[in-house]
Amino acid sequence: MGNQEIIDLSEQYVLHTYNRFPIAIDRGEGVRVRDADGKEYLDFMAGIAVFALGYHYPGYDEAVIGQIRKTIHTSNLYYHEPLAEAAKALVLSTGLSKAFFTNSGAEAVEGAIKAAKKYAWLKDGGSDHEIIAMNSSFHGRTVGALSVTGNEHYQEAFRPLMGGVRFAEFNDLESVKSLVGEKTCAILLETVQGEGGIYPAEPEFLEGIEAICRERDILLILDEIQCGMGRTGNMWAYQAYGVTPDIVTTAKALGCGVPVGAFVLGEKAAKASLVPGDHGTTYGGNPLATAAAAAVFRIFEEDHIVERAREAGDYLARKLDELKAAHSSVRAHRGAGLIRGLEFEEGTSASEIAGKALENGLLIITAGGNVLRFVPPLIVSRDEIDEACAILDRIIP
């Protein structure tokens, strides 16, 4: 089928919850994809920060196909080697203690919330604990994850949501301090706000929150679903700050295309929170998903993917600074590594620019606040960055 036939069929049978771009992607290779009509695109959105290794990276397909030939699912009533390998790699990379695998990022956030509530319940037996989250945040679409997402637009049609959530201002430590009370069991935030407009946490802010959590025995939960797994030029974004979360959530690049997420607990939270019967998932941590995750960690280490991402991120930053200097419509450039944003002045639409980029062979998406979002595969080359920026230079007013 060609693009239009696929689009028409989808519009007839698929629930319309996404405003999709008018192409049907058929295949990919490296940092490029082709649509069903054969047109090629340079991919700077990577399945929304999922394809960290690009398409068909050597060794990845072989690991996934090899596991399919063995077994895809066993349930969590049995042990299996891919789960053990992926858990070890995830725990060692985060510096934490225990991992729980999920099917998605939203489920990872749900698990982190439950772990924090159970930790507090074991301390005082109460069930009225509160979580402090951030305005302009995004943590997922399930009810629990939506409850800690600081965006009225996403929430308003689905209330009442989970209670006991209070919202502070990101990068405003005093606003967090003003909300901390005896019932606070966790402070939850993205290390780099993604959907909110690509805002990295300021060092003093994150360090200050960690200090509050340590002083009051509150769990620090960092959502690194989009900004983790090498995207900022560190394996985990928080590692650049010298802080250690009690729980970190991950997904997206964890499986590089195979759906898998996880939450990882530090020793304190792991020893005094979830126990058998508290939490579970039929598909989470299945052999296929964890074989993909284990392969991703092996490739990251053997091929120095994080170091490559850091170098590519530095180069992309320079090129985006040049675009900002050349176009008065660009208000700001911010980000870290290979998660970056160009914010536009009022009157210039980031969404319209993304549409024009598509017409010119570049896939790119937006983030909140009229921001063009850059999350290419971590293997992107300088030549590919030059090509993308040349396209944008032509179409940005």
Q: Flag whether 377 is in a domain.
A: yes
For residues 224 and 291, membership in a common domain is answered with yes
Distances (CA, A) of 253 to 11, 48, 265, 306: 29, 9, 19, 12
With b meaning 16 or more CB within 10 Å and e meaning fewer, what string describes 2-24? ebeebbeeeeeeeeeeeeebebb
Q: Quote the CA–CA distance of 23 and 26 in Å, as a whole number.
A: 9
For residues 294 and 323, membership in a common domain is answered with no
Domain boundary residue among 302, 336, 367?
302
For residues 265 and 123, membership in a common domain is answered with yes
End-to-end CA distance of the chain: 36
**Structural domain count of the chain:** 2
- The alpha carbon of residue 266 and the mean position of all alpha carbons in its chain are separated, in whole angstroms, by 20
DSSP-assigned states of every residue in 253-304:
GGTTTS--EEEEE-HHHHHTS--TTS---SSTT-HHHHHHHHHHHHHHHHTT
Domain boundary residue among 262, 278, 302?
302
Q: Flag whether 63 is in a domain.
A: no
Q: What is the pLDDT of residue 369?
A: 87
Q: Which has the closest alpha carbon to 56: 34, 23, 81, 24? A: 34
Determine if the peptide bond prior to 287 is cis (ω within 30°): no
For residues 270 and 240, membership in a common domain is answered with yes
For residues 176 and 84, membership in a common domain is answered with yes
- Sequence-ordered alpha helix ranges (H) in 69-172: 81-94, 105-124, 143-147, 152-155
Q: Flag whether 62 is in a domain.
A: no
Q: What is the pLDDT of residue 46?
A: 98
Token pair belonging to 213 = 């959590």
Q: Which has the closest alpha carbon to 131: 221, 198, 61, 200? A: 221
For residues 27 and 137, membership in a common domain is answered with no
Distances (CA, A) of 60 to 55, 57, 258: 9, 6, 11
Which residues 6+ apart lie within 8 Å of 198 measured at CB? 192, 334, 335, 339, 340, 341, 367, 371, 373
Q: What is the pLDDT of residue 325?
A: 98
For residues 124 and 35, membership in a common domain is answered with no
Strand partners, 332: 343
pLDDT tens sequence for the chain (397 residues): 999 999 999 999 999 999 999 999 999 999 999 999 999 999 999 999 999 999 999 999 999 999 999 999 999 999 999 999 999 999 999 999 999 999 999 999 999 999 999 999 999 999 999 999 999 999 999 999 999 999 999 999 999 999 999 999 999 999 999 999 999 999 999 999 999 999 999 999 999 999 999 999 999 999 999 999 999 999 999 999 999 999 999 999 999 999 999 999 999 999 999 999 999 999 999 999 999 999 999 999 999 999 999 999 999 999 999 999 999 999 999 999 999 999 999 999 999 999 999 999 999 999 998 999 999 999 999 999 999 999 999 999 9
Q: Flag whether 203 is in a domain.
A: yes
For residues 21 and 81, membership in a common domain is answered with no
Q: What is the pLDDT of residue 59?
A: 98
Please report where in the chains the tokens 């399930």 appear, as a residue: 142
For residues 318 and 240, membership in a common domain is answered with no
Range of the domain at 235: 71-302
CATH of the domain at 173: 3.40.640.10
Check if the beta carbon of residue 176 is closer than 8 Å to that of residue 212. yes
Domain boundary residue among 276, 302, 328?
302
pTM (2 d.p.): 0.97
Please report where in the chains the tokens 């060692």 appear, as a residue: 92
For residues 211 and 257, membership in a common domain is answered with yes
Q: Quote the CA–CA distance of 147 and 101 in Å, as a whole number.
A: 21
Check if the beta carbon of residue 390 is closer than 8 Å to that of residue 348. no
Q: Flag whether 66 is in a domain.
A: no
Give helix then strand counts, H and E, for the chain. 14, 17
Q: Flag whether 95 is in a domain.
A: yes
